[in-house]
């Protein structure tokens, strides 16, 4: 249930408020977005009712101002929501969103997140090479003196392919491991000290 206004300008201000709130809550389930919207509307309503006898628009603007920055309210809510959701899924999009929502929580956490990104790139390369190996058998993991290549090497390079077709199941295992680590890491880097 939304607030009923008599004044057209008040209606517009309130609608603008709801639109900016909606934009900031993108990524949350509809039911959660409605819940937050309802609660903040209820807050504004109560705040307006307890204000002195002023024109409706003035009361509304005052209540929105006293509520504070919408970013300060919604960012922690969205970040917490993403963590809870990411902790229960291995969906890469959800995990990425959760990292984005929690960026900048501290240097230590940022470094751990960075290491995870490096591991993600390595895993992604393994996956790409293993997929290409189905069409180009010379693709693989080559190791030799001063050589570590994921891909192909020319014949003169003194390197030996070490995994052969095993690179395909290993890429699969690495992917599952990566998603699991991402989920665990998220819980660690976002926990409050």
Across-strand partners of 141?
A: 150
Q: Are 182 and 120 in contact (CB under 8 A)?
A: yes
Q: By CB under 8 A, which span of 42-50, 88-96, 99-107, 119-127 interacts with another protein? A: 42-50
Structure tokens at 135: 């069409």
Among 13, 43, 110, 150, binds another protein (CB under 8 A): 43
Among 8, 52, 53, 72, binds another protein (CB under 8 A): 72
Among 25, 28, 40, 116, binds another protein (CB under 8 A): 40
Among 16, 19, 20, 42, binds another protein (CB under 8 A): 42
* Binding of another protein by 66 (CB under 8 A): yes
Q: CA 106 to CA 121: how far, in whole Å?
A: 22
Number of amino acids touching another protein (CB under 8 A): 27
CB neighbours of residue 107 within 10 Å: 8
* Binding of another protein by 49 (CB under 8 A): yes
* Binding of another protein by 41 (CB under 8 A): yes
Q: How far is CA 171 from CA 7, 103, 130, 150, in A?
A: 62, 28, 7, 12
Among 61, 77, 159, 170, binds another protein (CB under 8 A): 77
Structure tokens at 191: 């926990």
Instruction: Say which residues have a Cβ less than 8 Å from residue 87's Cβ, sequence separation at least 6.
Output: 183, 186, 187
User: Which residues make up the interface to another protein (CB under 8 A)?
Assistant: 1-3, 36, 38-43, 45-47, 49-50, 66-70, 72-73, 75-77, 80, 84
């Amino acid at each position: 249930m939304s607030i009923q206004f008599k004044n057209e300008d008040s209606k517009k201000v309130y609608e603008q408020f709801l639109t900016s709130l909606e934009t900031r809550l993108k990524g949350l389930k509809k039911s959660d977005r409605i819940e937050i919207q309802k609660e903040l509307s209820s807050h504004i309503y109560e705040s307006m009712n307890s204000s002195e006898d002023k024109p409706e628009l003035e009361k509304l603007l005052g209540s929105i101002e006293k509520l504070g920055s919408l970013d300060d309210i919604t960012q922690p809510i969205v970040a917490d929501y993403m963590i809870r959701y990411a902790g229960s899924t291995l969906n890469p999009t959800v995990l990425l969103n959760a990292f984005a929502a929690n960026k900048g929580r501290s240097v230590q956490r940022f470094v751990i997140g960075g290491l995870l990104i490096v591991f993600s790139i390595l895993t992604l390369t393994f996956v790409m090479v293993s997929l290409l190996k189905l069409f180009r058998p010379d693709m693989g993991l080559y190791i030799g003196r001063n050589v570590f290549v994921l891909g192909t090497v020319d014949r003169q390079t003194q390197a030996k392919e070490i995994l052969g077709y095993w690179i395909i199941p290993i890429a699969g295992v690495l992917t599952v491991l990566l998603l699991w680590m991402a989920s665990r890491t998220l819980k660690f880097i976002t926990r409050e000290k």
